Structure 1
Amino acid sequence: MNPLYWLDPWEPSPTVVIAVIVTAVLFVRGKRHARVSLARQISFWFGLGALYVALHTRLDYFFEHEFFMHRAQHLVLHHLGPFFIALAYPGAALRAGIPFMWRQRFVRPMLNARPVRAMLDVVMHPVVAVTLFVGLIYFWLLSPIHFIAMLDWRLYRVMNWSMVIDGLLFWWLVLDPRPAPPARLAPGKRVLVVIAAIPPQIVLGAFIFFTSHELYPVYSICGRAFTWLSPMRDQQIGGLLLWIPGSMMSVIGALIALRHWMRLSARGRLKRAQGTRKPTRAAHQHDVQHT
């Protein structure tokens, strides 16, 4: 079988294609003006490529017809893809990729608009960020909601896009390498935020794994992609994917946030209760390069 067969979308979506192409073009244009290391470029392209594969390839058929494949898809959409994009710190490159006139006329006024700033203040609040990150997983895995979402293609796409957008917001908040300000959260709070997201994922994954009856009959009703896999085994594998890899991604995120905290502390870039140490020129240039 031709490997390109798997890149053929199961259900074509112009929205996915446009979003991916625009993001890629902005990054390519912007990295000419903003310093982006090779490691950060690889991280960005891996994350963007992972999102495209999970949203717009032949694999989508399996995501719709096996619960554990669906959980693998959301692991990529909510954790893996956004994680690697945020790890690349692409904000400066993406901004630089926008034509200067557009930035002045459209982007800056939009970001400075009071409703937009108020909305970002709400969704980027640490309590709200954790609640949304975990709450969306719980919401879409409620049996009645999940049943409808897997049958209605419009709600199915809303579900997937909500996971992508929330994942980007959460990991962008947690993996920000800068001190606060300009970052929204102090480095210590970033570590606490991502740690707080771990226990609820473990609890839900364990609940799905140990439940003795079928929670998601929609896959049996619509037909399963792997007929050799029993519904309960499918459900158990899906629970494990949420329980172990999902939680491990959060642990890795906490370790990276802790590393940023230690780096900023060593460079004297953290606010202190009694006075602050003036940052060195080298430390300032290091932080600028990571914005």
Structure 2
Amino acid sequence: MMQSILYWLEPWEPSPTVVVATLIAAVLFARGARYARVSFSRHVAFWLGLAAIYVALHTRLDYFFEHEFFMHRLQHLVLHHLGPFLIAVSYPGAALRAGVSMRWRPLWLHPALSTRTARSLVAVLFNPVVAVTLFVGLIYFWLLSRIHFEAMLDYRLYRVMNWSMVIDGLLFWWLVLDPRPSPPARLAPGQRILIVIAVVPPQILLGAYIFFTPHELYPIYSICGRAFTWLSPMRDQQIGGLLLWIPGSMMSVLGGLIALRHWMRLSAARVSHGRGTGGRGTEADFRASPDKP
């Protein structure tokens, strides 16, 4: 049993980048969680999200992701939706910051984050129009037949594709699932709901197009050999379309519901605090603790 588990955990194509990035995130969160107040549910969400991303990037399952279209879509469902969603809903920011040594913060963390380049990059990436465009655009871009063909043949482009999905997923879900009011959150609660709703129709349209197309859109899997010979190319393509159409859209709906819950909680806190202070409360007074989303 143990040998079987270890066999599946072996990477199909070893990547030091995945190992280093995962270890850094794990160590920072484990260190910081001792100082920041992190609930059990947030612990579970973070570790499940990090484990899901690692499994989707660096195990023997990668062979199947490279040799079946529907498995590839399952991989990107984890990398772009499920894994980043779980990490974002755990709201690990306070723990990750606390995990950085006090000696290192003034030396490189604070200077790096305070540069004009860093501030400009953050402002662009967390712009709601840019966030929606990137989230949907990357899905469409990597599923263009010619681009997808090249990405599945070139291991360097393949890794760029996968990492782009992880990074964009983290940025998008972090923006949507932020439990704080604005400021300090980048977007107001209502805007978070709007952007997560905005990404649903394009995913449905693309998933439906892939499902209903009567010819093979991604012949690369037939050329390179399929992992499941009993599954026809068209059935493989239809399942892949459904994975984009239904689970991908449902993750966005779930994100919208969580954003709505945060909005209602913040509104109730504002009203309650306003009554308690004779209506003189300020926005800063109603900021929710990052550790109590």
- TM-score normalised by L of structure 2: 0.94
- Show the 5 A alignment for 1:270-281: 277-278=280-281
Q: Which residue of the partner structure matches residue 182 of structure 1?
A: 184
Residue in structure 2 matching 1:61, options 60, 63, 72:
63
Distance 2:292 2:173 in 1: 15
- Asked if 2 retains the 8 angstrom alpha-carbon contact of 1:178 and 1:290, the reply is no
Distance 1:289 1:229 in 2: 47
Distance 1:15 1:76 in 2: 18
- Asked if 2 retains the 8 angstrom alpha-carbon contact of 1:16 and 1:55, the reply is yes
Distance 1:289 1:283 in 2: 14
Residue identity over aligned pairs, in percent, reads 73
- Asked if 2 retains the 8 angstrom alpha-carbon contact of 1:268 and 1:277, the reply is no
Letter in 1 for 2:204: I
- Asked if 2 retains the 8 angstrom alpha-carbon contact of 1:176 and 1:183, the reply is yes
Once the two structures are TM-superposed, the CA of residue 281 in structure 1 deviates from its matched residue by 11
- Show the 5 A alignment for 1:121-270: 121-268=123-270
- Asked if 2 retains the 8 angstrom alpha-carbon contact of 1:267 and 1:279, the reply is no
Distance 1:280 1:257 in 2: 18
Unaligned runs of 5+ in 2: none
- Asked if 1 retains the 8 angstrom alpha-carbon contact of 2:74 and 2:243, the reply is yes
Residue in structure 2 matching 1:21, options 20, 23, 27:
23
Once the two structures are TM-superposed, the CA of residue 104 in structure 1 deviates from its matched residue by 1.1
Letter in 2 for 1:139: F
Aligned length: 287
Letter in 2 for 1:245: P
Unaligned runs of 5+ in 1: none
Q: Which residue of the partner structure matches residue 34 of structure 2?
A: 32
- Asked if 1 retains the 8 angstrom alpha-carbon contact of 2:181 and 2:286, the reply is no
Distance 2:243 2:17 in 1: 28
- Asked if 2 retains the 8 angstrom alpha-carbon contact of 1:269 and 1:279, the reply is no
- TM-score normalised by L of structure 1: 0.95
Distance 1:180 1:26 in 2: 26
Q: CA RMSD in A?
A: 2.0
Letter in 1 for 2:261: R
Distance 1:130 1:166 in 2: 10
